[in-house]
C-alpha cells in the first residue's frame, strides 16, 4: 500500500452502491478497501464479515483485519453503505424476523464503521452512514426498516457531538436516499418513474467531494437526496 495514496474503506462494498463507489474512487487513484459478506474484485483489500457471528464477534474480527490491512496508516474516509430492505407492520408474520434483519444490516454495520473511524480515521476525515428519508416519519408498512434507519440517524447526531469519540475535526454525515437507481430496484419496479431515482454515480461523485472537503455539510447532517426529473438536490433534514 502506497503511503501517499488517499485511502478509503467502503463498508458494504459488494452491494450496488458500494460497488459503484469503489469503481469511482479506484478511477481516481484511491486505495480502496471493502468490507462485506463477499469479495469485491476491484478493491485493493477485502475484509469478509461472517454473517452468523455475533455483533461483538464481528467487531473483534473486523477491527483486527482492518488494523492488519492498514498497518499503521490512516483513512481519509469510511463510507458505510451496507443495508437492505424488508417490510411489514406489527401484525406481519415476519415482523420480528424482518426487524432483526434490518437491525443487523443497518445498525450493526453503522456502529462497526463508527468503531473503525474512532481508531483509523485521519483528523479531519469523513465518516458517512446510510439512513433513509422515510424514517424521518412513521413507516407503518416497514416498521423494522424505519426503526433501524432512525437509529442510524440518532447515531449520527451522537457521533457529531463534541465528545462523540471521532478524531479531531472529522465529519460524520448520513445520506437519506428515497430510491437509488440500482439494477435490483429496476428489476422489481420496472414501471416506476425512474426520473425520481438517484443515480449511483451521483452519490459516488458527491462522496468524493465530501472526502476532499468540498461542499461538505456540517458534521451531524442528515442529507436528503431528492431527485426529480433526473436532477438531484441535497436538502439537510
Q: For the segment 142-155, what is each residue's pLDDT rounded down to a tens digit?
A: 999 999 999 999 99
Residue 176 lies in a domain: yes
End-to-end Cα spacing for the chain: 38
* Number of domains within the chain: 1
Residue 1 lies in a domain: no
Listed in sequence order, the residues at least 6 apart from 228 whose beta carbon sits closer than 8 Å to its beta carbon are 195, 196
Residue 184 lies in a domain: yes
Listed in sequence order, the residues at least 6 apart from 38 whose beta carbon sits closer than 8 Å to its beta carbon are 14, 48
The mean pLDDT value of the chain amounts to 96
Active site residue 30: no
Residue 55 lies in a domain: yes
Question: In this predicted model, what pLDDT tens digit does every residue of 108-136 receive, in sequence order?
Answer: 999 999 999 999 999 999 999 999 999 99
Choice among 11, 30, 145, 202 that is catalytic: 145
Q: Please tell me the predicted confidence (pLDDT) of residue 48.
A: 98
Q: Please tell me the predicted confidence (pLDDT) of residue 68.
A: 97
Distance CA 24, CA 16 (A): 12
Collapsing DSSP states into helix, strand and coil, what is residue 219? Answer: coil
* Domain span holding position 100: 7-236
Find the mean pLDDT for residues 199-217. 97
The answer to whether residues 50 and 59 touch, using CB atoms and an 8 Å cutoff, is: no
Find the mean pLDDT for residues 206-221. 97
CATH number at residue 189: 3.40.50.720
Backbone angles phi, psi at 202, to 5 degrees: -60, -45
Residue 187 lies in a domain: yes
Q: Please tell me the predicted confidence (pLDDT) of residue 44.
A: 97
Q: Is the dihedral of CA 205, 206, 209, 215 positive or negative?
A: positive
Confidence of residue 2 (pLDDT cuts 50, 70, 90): low
Nearest-5° angle of CA 153, CA 159, CA 161?
110
The dihedral region occupied by 32, where left means phi > 0, alpha psi between -120 and 50, and beta the remainder, is beta
Q: Please tell me the predicted confidence (pLDDT) of residue 140.
A: 97
Question: In this predicted model, what pLDDT tens digit does every residue of 34-65 receive, in sequence order?
Answer: 999 999 999 999 999 999 999 999 999 999 99
- Sole residue written with cell 424476523: 97
Question: Which pTM value belongs to this model?
Answer: 0.95
Q: Please tell me the predicted confidence (pLDDT) of residue 5.
A: 85
3 pLDDT more than 90: no
Q: Please tell me the predicted confidence (pLDDT) of residue 1.
A: 62
Residue 2 lies in a domain: no
Residue 221 lies in a domain: yes
What share of the chain has pLDDT > 90, as a percent?
Answer: 93
7 pLDDT more than 80: yes
Amino acid at each position: 500500500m502506497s503511503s501517499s495514496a488517499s485511502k478509503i474503506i467502503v463498508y458494504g462494498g459488494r452491494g450496488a452502491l458500494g460497488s459503484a463507489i469503489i469503481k469511482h474512487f479506484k478511477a481516481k487513484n484511491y486505495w480502496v478497501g471493502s468490507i462485506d459478506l463477499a469479495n469485491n474484485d476491484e478493491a485493493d483489500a477485502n475484509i469478509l464479515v461472517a454473517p452468523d457471528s455475533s455483533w461483538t464477534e464481528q467487531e473483534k474480527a473486523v477491527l483486527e483485519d482492518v488494523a492488519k490491512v492498514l498497518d499503521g496508516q490512516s483513512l481519509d474516509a469510511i463510507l458505510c453503505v451496507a443495508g437492505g430492505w424488508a417490510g411489514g407492520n406489527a401484525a406481519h408474520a415476519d415482523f420480528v424476523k424482518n426487524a432483526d434483519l434490518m437491525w443487523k444490516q443497518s445498525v450493526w454495520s453503522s456502529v462497526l464503521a463508527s468503531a473503525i473511524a474512532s481508531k483509523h480515521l485521519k483528523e479531519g476525515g469523513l465518516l458517512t452512514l446510510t439512513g433513509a428519508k422515510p424514517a424521518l416519519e412513521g413507516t407503518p408498512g416497514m416498521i423494522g426498516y424505519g426503526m433501524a434507519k432512525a437509529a442510524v440517524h440518532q447515531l449520527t447526531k451522537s457521533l457529531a457531538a463534541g465528545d462523540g469519540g471521532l478524531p479531531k475535526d472529522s465529519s460524520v454525515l448520513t445520506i437519506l436516499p428515497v430510491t437509488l437507481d440500482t439494477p435490483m430496484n429496476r428489476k422489481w419496479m420496472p414501471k416506476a418513474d425512474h426520473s425520481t431515482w438517484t443515480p449511483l454515480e451521483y452519490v459516488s461523485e458527491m462522496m468524493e467531494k465530501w472526502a476532499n472537503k468540498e461542499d461538505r455539510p456540517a458534521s451531524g447532517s442528515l442529507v436528503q437526496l431528492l431527485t426529480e426529473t433526473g436532477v438531484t438536490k441535497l436538502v439537510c433534514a
